[in-house]
């Protein structure tokens, strides 16, 4: 769904809204910049509420307390999975809060694969 918009600022002089794909772009950029993440994986399953926008590596839905982000990633071999996931969760939440002013209820990370040298060469 690409028609959804999220209100970012509402003042007497006007309001600012962002189309849902803008939030998805912020999420995907935060994931790509996270150390230990090799690439984004397929579109994740949304765990809470109807998805407002989805794309490779991420899906965003509205939860009761804010947006819920589900992410699917491939990590590098030899990294600590829990540490990479925690860093990714913090990066995604910070990007949405700081850059878009959006309340974040949850960021869920699914690690779908570990990239070995062979997988990285063969599959990009």
Q: Tell me whether residue 4 is in a domain.
A: no
| pTM of the complete model | 0.83
Q: Tell me whether residue 8 is in a domain.
A: no
pLDDT tens track for 57-111? 999 988 778 899 999 999 999 999 999 999 999 999 999 999 998 899 999 999 9
Residue 65 structural domain: 20-123
Q: Tell me whether residue 114 is in a domain.
A: yes
User: Quick one: CA dihedral 66, 22, 2, 34, positive or negative?
Assistant: negative
Q: Tell me whether residue 9 is in a domain.
A: no
The b/e string for 70-103 (b: 16+ C-beta within 10 A; e otherwise) is: bbbbbbbeebeeeebbebbbebbbebbeeebebe
């Amino acid at each position: 769904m690409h028609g959804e918009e999220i209100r970012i600022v509402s003042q007497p002089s006007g309001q600012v809204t962002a189309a849902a794909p803008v939030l998805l772009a912020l999420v995907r950029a935060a994931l790509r910049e996270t150390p230990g993440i090799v690439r984004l994986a397929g579109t994740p399953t949304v765990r809470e509420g109807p998805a407002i926008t989805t794309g490779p590596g991420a899906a965003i839905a509205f939860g009761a307390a804010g947006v819920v982000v589900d992410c699917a990633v491939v990590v590098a071999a030899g990294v600590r999975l829990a540490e990479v996931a925690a860093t990714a969760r913090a990066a995604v939440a910070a990007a949405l809060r700081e850059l878009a002013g959006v309340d974040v209820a949850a960021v869920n990370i699914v690690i779908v694969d570990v990239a070995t040298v062979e997988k990285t060469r063969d599959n990009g």
